[in-house]
Chain A
Amino acid sequence: METFIGKPVKRREDARFLKGAGRYTDDIKLPKMTQAAFVRSPYAHAKILDVNIEDAQRGDGVVAVFTAQDGCGTFGVPCGWQVDFKNGETMREPQHPLLAKEKIKHVGEAVAIVIAETLEQARDAAELVKVDYEGLPAVTDPGKAMEPGAPLVHDQWSDNAAFDWCIGNDRTEVEAALASAHHVTEMEYRNQRLAPNAIEPRSYIADYDVNAGKWTLYTSTQNPHLIRLLLCAFVLGIPEHKVRVVSYDVGGGFGSKIYHYTEEALLTWASKEVGRPIKWTSDRSEAFLTDAHGRDHVVKSRMGFDKEGKIVAHLTDEYCAMGAYLSTFAPAVPTYLHGTLFQGVYTTPLIHLNVIAPFTHTVAVDAYRGAGRPEATYLLERMISKAAKEMDMDPAEIRFRNFIPPFDGVEQAGYQTQVALQYDSGNYEAVLKRGLEMLGYEDFRKSQIAARKNGKLLGVGISTYIEGCGIAPSAVVGSLGARAGLYEVGAVRVQPTGKVSVFTGSHSHGQGHETVFAQFVADKLGIAMDDVEIEHGDTDQVAFGMGTYGSRSLSVGGSAIIKSVEKILEKGAKIAAHKLEAAEEDLEYAEGKWTVKGTDKSISFGDVSLTAYVPHDYPEGLEPGLDFSSFYDPTNFTYPFGAHIAVVEVDSDTGRVVLKRFVACDDVGNVMNPMIVDGQIQGGVVQGIGQALLEEVIYDESGQMTSGSYMDYAMPRADDVPMIETDRTVTPCPHNPLGVKGAGEAGAIGSTPAVVNAVVDALSHLGVTDIQMPLSPQRVWKAMNNGR
């Protein structure tokens, strides 16, 4: 019988995607649907003196115009995570209004919504809204936001800090260890701000059914239930059971579609006001200005080493931008998703991180593919490579000297870090050894020497990362300030004919759940993949789920489904035993049938299913039906890891970096579908390369975004990257049933420092020790020529 786990099964969902037949929100057209356009501020910081909507109200086809003076003016979207000051002061949490009322706090903030019969009419009428602003000075850099006298984003507080937080060992102890260290490596840099750039812009349709008294919100989200909860209970105060949130196909999220955005709530409110469905789809310019961004840390770090190159202490101070308002998960990203990974894959005995998170006159910063872990990995991997150079050691050797020894989490206990986490299982030496072997590291170093003699600037960069994903035990995240649980739900409904519908609270926005989940359900039930259908993205169909982010779908969502599969088989065995007139313990289940051990007496899964729904001859006291729902709350995060190695050549005349090779050896635990894992790794790696070489959101001094289009924001293209060479080691996760760890973010976490390390390596003989990302040709050329 054909099995599917571990095989590169082609993605079922691709048939509709490749034919342009996906069901994206903007594809949906409802009867009597209206279209919305927003009036957005061109100022980063301004007083709103007057908003005049009279001309707009008279515009062709205009249905309604709303401002903060209307009923929606009292609502605000909440933050989902509370991180308090280390001195005990509560996190500063400003209201995030649906429409700006008195003050503008970032370019692109909405002042009014115009609803019209057609999109053209909505846009035309939006231009007729006259807003009188009084411009004010702005601050967009997280470091400058904390300087004395910086313009205040929220003037109810004395400075711009949302919180000032720390993690790890006692600061004075770490300082002392640094003071007595054999060598101290230092870096100051900015982990630049990035725009997520999902190919499908955000899109919403709110539809209030006046007869039923119910709302339907179609939304391009990564977590429909969370949106429903926030929208109902925390924003509009409407009953949750009267709201259906639907999110069919979503064209990428990378984190940016986790959050509850003001437009979702405003459309939902307005659809009741106008009594008609309202659609709004962001255009690309709006996406740059209003989708939550990623990264934006200003970093100052010191790492101490002993004579052998072992890390003895690590101390870092960071300013991490929050933006104008606190987005749903924003406070967690530079803290619990970042500081907790400062152990990396190393035995560092003393670690201290302090994070000041300032408000800035910019759009919010929140989780973006990797969310805090890429920033942690970039820091650790740049620092250790810089230290190796300063101490005249090989960058691979210094890592081997610092690795945490292998542990499987079963025979050997998990590894307790200095920064709150316990790693599940890991073998960091093995993954780097394999990576070096794939590259041919020794030979490369020889060819590098020869190339340099010929004037070629060739470099290699290594990065060995760990990340925490499969997020995570609800009790743990609750104690860290999360205002939601982080379990998942999975229901398995066996139909009378033995066909299986699976309902998952995970949400696919490109990951391939419809394929992977069907693979393991089919295997566990011993049936064909075609007999399994995966449903997601509709709160009326699926029980309360938590959605997809933090590489959690398979490890958390998959485990919930497995629990339901086990319940199905347990009940099925009772029915089978009755039909076979045997004891349950004498049965075995394989290849889709229960067999009485040692005999040829058997009953198929399909026959048992039919019996469950036509229970004429049926075990006494057993309920009919074969339909189970389960919640799974993991006991720990999962900890994938890997080694990424980049080879670059730098054009000595222009500074342009050409990636010659990229090797990614990752350990994501057990693998359900190697083709999909390869795809996730490759996509992530390219996104990481984008940060290293190309991408940067730039706000100028006045708070204007000068990189708000693809003319100015450089996305990686196919010809910017070489073929990504992938391989894996397998260290199963010891605490979930599939032994899986997650692969969605790994590529973006490991790759960025590998590329930057490679460029610095290529230029090290010219005195270059660091270059600010993105490593644009201009920056690289200037670094080469200033010899810094």
Chain B
Amino acid sequence: MIPAKFDYIKVSSIGEAVTLLDKHGFDSKILSGGHSLIPAMKLRLSRPELLIDISGISGMDGISEEGDKIVVGANCTHQKIASSKLVKEHLNILAQTAGCIGDVQVRNRGTLGGSLAHADPASDYPATVLACDAQIIAEGKNGSRTIAATDFFQSIFTTALADDEIITSVRFPKVANGNYQKFFQSASRFAVVGVAVVKEGDAVKVGITGVSDTPYRASAVESAYDGGSSAAAKAVHGVEVMSDHFADAEYRSHLAKVYVKRALEA
């Protein structure tokens, strides 16, 4: 478990990181918590020549209230999010999501920005950022831009981020009535199925992770929603469902319906 040779630079500003990223392109990788990147490097599945460590950039690990929004810095660890008073009060669904990632050691290292940028199809956050209609703030050589969560996840391990862009923060609307329900994979504790539900009046927003190679908004569920949970039957409508030895497509589809139902009823 020894990675291939690489260079390492710890930057102190986002501008510095963007410049390096722009210069080195595919040969470089942003290092935040490193909980997905470092194991891949140790197995030599990933062999960047340069690691740009952004964990020392000041001001990127804050959590603040901005009007009707909660802004979470990309460098916030899962543990910080799960235990934040502000998040628990105004955005409990996010605290709940962060709190069921991995175990305490993982939560103390892994970060929100790192997890979203990695876009593992079995990670937990995507369901919640989708259901919350969060906005992902990214900075690149052309400055800062805002990406809607629904536009962010493009396919397996692929996002809307340009090659020179880094997530700096995520803006969440405050959520009064939402919850995240997860069926974990026994070995990795990643989500086999993760369902985030946000209720607003008569409407519901449903984000699903783990089921397809791209996390998605279950629009068929949302449009069939009648205040009860029967719409859960449409959880995998129009979706190509993944299959592995823990859950084949039939079982995973079933679990998606069960967990949408549980999230709608919670």
By a beta-carbon cutoff of 8 Å, the part of chain A in contact with chain B is: 119-120, 123-124, 127, 283-285, 653-654, 656, 693-694, 698, 706-707, 710-715, 776-778, 781-782
Within 8 Å by CB of A778, from B2, B5, B248, lies: B248
Q: Do B2 and A706 touch across chains, with their CB atoms under 8 A apart? A: no
Please give the distance in Å from A152's CB to the nearest CB on chain B. Answer: 28
A710 to B187, CA, bound (A): 6
Please give the distance in Å from A190's CB to the nearest CB on chain B. Answer: 15
Within 8 Å by CB of B245, from A124, A693, A694, A698, lies: A698
Q: Do A776 and B258 touch across chains, with their CB atoms under 8 A apart? A: no
Q: Which residue of chain B is the closest to A707 with respect to CB atoms?
A: B245
Instruction: List residues of chain B with CB within 8 A of the CB of A283.
Output: 1
Q: Do A694 and B188 touch across chains, with their CB atoms under 8 A apart? A: no
B255: Cβ under 8 A from any A Cβ: yes
Please give the distance in Å from B101's CB to the nearest CB on chain A. Answer: 14
Please give the distance in Å from B259's CB to the nearest CB on chain A. Answer: 9
- CB proximity to A under 8 Å, residues B51-81: none
A707 to B2, CA, bound (A): 21
Within 8 Å by CB of A713, from B44, B187, B258, lies: B187
Task: Knowing A120-B2, A123-B2 are in contact, say whether A778-B188 is a contact too (CB < 8 A).
Answer: no
Interface SS of chain B: helix, strand, loop or mixed?
loop
Q: Do B254 and A781 touch across chains, with their CB atoms under 8 A apart? A: yes
A569 to B1, CA, bound (A): 54
Instruction: List residues of chain A with CB within 8 A of the CB of B246.
Output: 776, 778
Task: Knowing A712-B245, A776-B186, A778-B251 are in contact, say whether A124-B5 is a contact too (CB < 8 A).
Answer: yes
The 5 tightest CB contacts between A and B, nearest first, are A714-B187, A714-B186, A283-B1, A711-B188, A123-B2
Please give the distance in Å from B145's CB to the nearest CB on chain A. Answer: 34
B183: Cβ under 8 A from any A Cβ: yes
Q: Which residue of chain B is the closest to A782 with respect to CB atoms?
A: B251
Within 8 Å by CB of A654, from B1, B2, B255, lies: B255
Instruction: List residues of chain A with CB within 8 A of the CB of B1.
Output: 283-285
A127 to B4, CA, bound (A): 10
Count residues of B near A (Cβ-Cβ below 8 Å).
20
Q: Do A694 and B186 touch across chains, with their CB atoms under 8 A apart? A: yes
Instruction: List residues of chain B with CB within 8 A of the CB of A777.
Output: 183, 186, 247, 251
B239: Cβ under 8 A from any A Cβ: no
- 24 A-B residue contacts at CB 8 Å? A120-B5, A123-B2, A124-B5, A127-B44, A283-B1, A284-B1, A285-B1, A654-B183, A654-B255, A656-B183, A694-B186, A694-B187, A698-B245, A707-B245, A710-B187, A711-B187, A711-B190, A777-B183, A777-B247, A777-B251, A778-B247, A778-B248, A778-B251, A781-B251
Please give the distance in Å from A202's CB to the nearest CB on chain B. Answer: 14
Q: Do B245 and A654 touch across chains, with their CB atoms under 8 A apart? A: no
Please give the distance in Å from B123's CB to the nearest CB on chain A. Answer: 13
B156: Cβ under 8 A from any A Cβ: no
Inter-chain residue pair count (beta carbon < 8 A): 48
Instruction: List residues of chain A with CB within 8 A of the CB of B44.
Output: 127
A124 to B251, CA, bound (A): 42
Q: Mark B232-256, 1 if CB is under 8 A from A, else 0.
A: 0000000000000111100100110
Please give the distance in Å from A701's CB to the nearest CB on chain B. Answer: 13
Taking A776-B246, A777-B186 as known contacts, 20 extra A-B pairs with beta carbons closer than 8 A to each other, sorted by chain A number, are: A119-B2, A123-B2, A124-B5, A284-B1, A285-B1, A653-B258, A654-B255, A656-B183, A694-B186, A706-B245, A710-B188, A711-B187, A711-B188, A712-B187, A714-B185, A777-B183, A778-B246, A778-B247, A778-B251, A781-B251
Please give the distance in Å from A178's CB to the nearest CB on chain B. Answer: 36
By a beta-carbon cutoff of 8 Å, the part of chain B in contact with chain A is: 1-2, 4-5, 43-44, 183, 185-188, 190, 245-248, 251, 254-255, 258
A714 to B254, CA, bound (A): 22
Q: Do B258 and A124 touch across chains, with their CB atoms under 8 A apart? A: no
Q: Which residue of chain B is the closest to A201 with respect to CB atoms?
A: B1
Identify the interface centre among B1, B4, B248: most chain A CB within 10 Å of its CB.
B1
Please give the distance in Å from A458's CB to the nearest CB on chain B. Answer: 20
A714 to B251, CA, bound (A): 19
A706 to B44, CA, bound (A): 18
Please give the distance in Å from B36's CB to the nearest CB on chain A. Answer: 11
A781 to B251, CA, bound (A): 8
Please give the distance in Å from A113's CB to the nearest CB on chain B. Answer: 16
Instruction: List residues of chain B with CB within 8 A of the CB of A715.
Output: 187
Instruction: List residues of chain A with CB within 8 A of the CB of B254.
Output: 781
Instruction: List residues of chain B with CB within 8 A of the CB of A781.
Output: 251, 254
A712 to B185, CA, bound (A): 9
Instruction: List residues of chain B with CB within 8 A of the CB of A713.
Output: 187
A123 to B5, CA, bound (A): 10
Task: Knowing A119-B2, A712-B187 are in contact, say whether A654-B43 is a contact too (CB < 8 A).
Answer: no
Q: Which residue of chain A is the closest to B247 with respect to CB atoms?
A: A778
A712 to B39, CA, bound (A): 14
Q: Do A285 and B245 touch across chains, with their CB atoms under 8 A apart? A: no
A778 to B186, CA, bound (A): 11
A715 to B248, CA, bound (A): 21
A444 to B228, CA, bound (A): 36
A694 to B183, CA, bound (A): 15
A579 to B188, CA, bound (A): 69
A96 to B186, CA, bound (A): 36
